[in-house]
Structures are given as structure tokens and as C-alpha cells.
């Protein structure tokens, strides 16, 4: 399936925007699919979109969203660099993009500037935030790998479950996770408590529950 997606992606790469490029590259890298053709096309496209495509749906892209795209592309870059089968894909990167990727990988915090002009991460503070975001993604990925549950993507809602409160087997779906957390925090009669559940996505089901759910009608 992913080979078919790779072939289709190469054919329509000219239509890809910044988010399309970053999401696709991250997906192939995270799942460790060594599809050189699509990765090469994505790296070449990213050499432009990461610096010029700063709008999403006619609105200026937020700094956080732009940073996510940089984090995703860096993970794809690192995957290609660390896998001989995909190393040739990096030949499609511009010199500027390679330089910025290497600056991220070096993890140098004493710089007075961030990435190249147009990147959206030009400040040293922005670069530090980006490196922290990548470290968090890596930590989530490691957590999922240690749980031996390959069905859960590193950035999924399940991967954000609080491991200190739940055994790994309860993270197979969000309903079980939420029920377990809430069940362990039953309040005494008349006592009001708030439980914050952190998720990495905001799906339509959440919106409907918050705005239309009978439990929250009051």
C-alpha cells in the first residue's frame, strides 16, 4: 500500500503544499519505509516549501504549525541519513536545507540566530523550541516502541496517555484510557475535582462532546 502511495505521491508532488510534504515525509520515516523515490521528491520539494509556503487555507501559518513541519521533515532527514538505503534521497536537498538540518542535529544552544531566513524559525529561541519538540516526539516514539504496540502512531492520542497512571494494555483506545484515569480519581460526595486529559489531536468527536454533549449541557 505504501509503495502505491509513494508512486502516486511522486506523480503529484508539484501539487504538494508545506503540510503535505511534511506529513508524508514524516509518515514514511516514522514507519521506516525506505521508499527512495518519494523521499527524494519530498526533500526536493521541502527545499522550497519550508521557506516560502507560510500560509494555510489563505491564513498565515502559526509559528507552532510551521515548527511542527520542520520537526517532521527533520525526522525524515535523520531517517534518510541513518539508513544507507535512503541516503541518496538527501542529494535532492538544497544546500540551505542541509545546512539547517545539520544545525538542528548539532543541538547548539549558544547560537544567536535560528534557521535560515524564511524558515519561520529564524530566532535562537525558536530553534530551541524546535529542538525540544523533536525531543518530545522522540520520547513518545520510544515510549510506544517499549510498549511493543506498533499499531499506535507516536503522535496519536493514545501515545499521550499518562503512563504513570495506566498499565500499557489500557492504552488501546481513548475511551478505556479516559475511563481508567477518571475511575482512579473518584471524588468524595460534594467535592468538585477537575481532571485534565492531554491529547495531541482535536477530532470532531471531541468538538461534539464539548459543544453538544448532554453531560456538559449545564
pLDDT in tens, 37-92: 999 999 999 999 999 987 776 677 888 889 999 999 999 999 999 999 999 999 99
- Yes or no: say if 153 and 86 are a contact pair by the CB < 8 Å rule: no
The answer to the question of residue 30 being in a domain is yes
Q: Which of 2-6, 102-106, 158-162 has the lowest mean pLDDT?
A: 158-162
Q: Is pLDDT of 29 > 50?
A: yes
Domain ends where: 121, 146, 171?
146
Q: Global pTM?
A: 0.65
Q: State whether 64 and 135 are in the same domain.
A: yes
User: Do residue 187 and residue 141 come from a single domain?
Assistant: no
CB 113 within 8 A of CB 89: no
Please check whether residues 51 and 131 belong to one and the same domain. Answer: yes
Residue 151 lies in a domain: no
Q: Which domain holds residue 210?
A: 158-216
Tell me, yes or no, whether 22 lies in a domain.
yes
Q: What is the pLDDT of residues 182-210, one digit of tens each?
A: 665 555 666 777 777 776 667 777 778 88
Residue 198, in any domain of the structure: yes
Does some domain include residue 55?
Answer: yes
Domain co-membership, 142 together with 167: no
What is the 8-class DSSP label of residue 55? E
Res. 142 pLDDT band, cuts 50 70 90: low
Same domain, 128 and 167: no
Tell whether 171 and 206 lie within a shared domain.
yes
pLDDT > 50? residue 160: no
Q: In the listed set 90, 113, 146, which residue is the last one of a domain according to the structure?
A: 146
Confidence of residue 12 (pLDDT cuts 50, 70, 90): very high
3-class secondary structure, 160: helix
Beta bridge partners of 55: 60
Element (H, E) at 207: helix 204-212
Any domain includes 152: no
Q: Domain tally for the chain?
A: 2
Which residues sit opposite 59 in a β-bridge? 56
Q: Please say which residue of 124, 146, 168 terminates a domain.
A: 146
Average pLDDT for 93-108:
90
- pLDDT recorded at residue 150: 45
Same domain, 111 and 198: no
In this structure, the answer to whether residues 131 and 183 fall within a common structural domain is no
Same domain, 37 and 77: yes
- Long-range contacts of range 10-18, CB-CB < 8 Å, 24 or more positions apart? 10/37, 10/38, 10/41, 13/41, 13/42, 13/45, 16/42, 16/45, 16/49, 17/49, 17/53, 17/56, 18/49, 18/50, 18/53, 18/54, 18/56, 18/61, 18/66, 18/69
Same domain, 7 and 75: yes
Within a domain: residue 153? no
Amino acid at each position: 500500500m505504501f509503495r502505491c502511495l509513494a508512486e502516486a505521491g511522486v506523480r503529484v508532488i508539484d501539487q504538494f503544499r508545506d503540510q503535505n510534504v511534511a506529513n508524508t515525509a514524516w509518515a514514511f520515516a516514522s514507519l521506516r519505509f525506505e521508499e527512495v523515490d518519494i523521499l527524494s521528491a519530498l526533500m526536493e520539494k521541502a527545499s522550497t516549501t519550508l521557506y516560502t509556503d507560510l500560509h494555510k487555507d489563505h491564513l498565515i501559518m502559526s509559528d507552532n504549525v510551521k515548527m511542527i513541519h520542520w520537526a517532521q521533515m527533520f525526522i525524515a532527514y535523520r531517517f534518510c541519513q541513518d539508513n544507507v538505503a535512503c541516503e541518496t534521497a538527501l542529494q535532492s536537498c538544497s544546500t540551505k536545507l542541509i545546512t539547517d538540518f545539520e544545525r538542528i542535529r548539532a543541538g547548539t544552544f549558544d547560537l544567536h540566530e535560528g534557521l535560515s531566513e524564511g524558515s519561520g524559525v529564524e530566532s535562537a529561541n525558536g530553534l530551541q523550541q524546535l529542538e525540544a519538540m523533536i525531543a518530545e516526539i522522540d520520547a513518545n516514539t520510544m515510549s510506544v516502541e517499549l510498549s511493543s504496540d506498533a499499531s499506535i502512531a507516536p503522535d496519536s492520542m493514545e501515545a499521550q496517555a499518562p503512563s504513570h497512571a495506566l498499565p500499557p494494555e489500557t492504552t488501546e483506545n481513548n475511551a478505556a484510557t479516559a475511563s481508567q484515569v477518571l475511575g482512579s480519581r473518584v471524588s468524595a460526595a460534594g467535592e468538585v475535582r477537575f481532571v485534565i486529559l492531554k491529547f495531541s489531536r482535536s477530532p470532531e468527536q471531541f468538538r461534539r462532546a464539548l459543544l453538544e454533549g448532554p453531560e456538559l449541557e449545564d
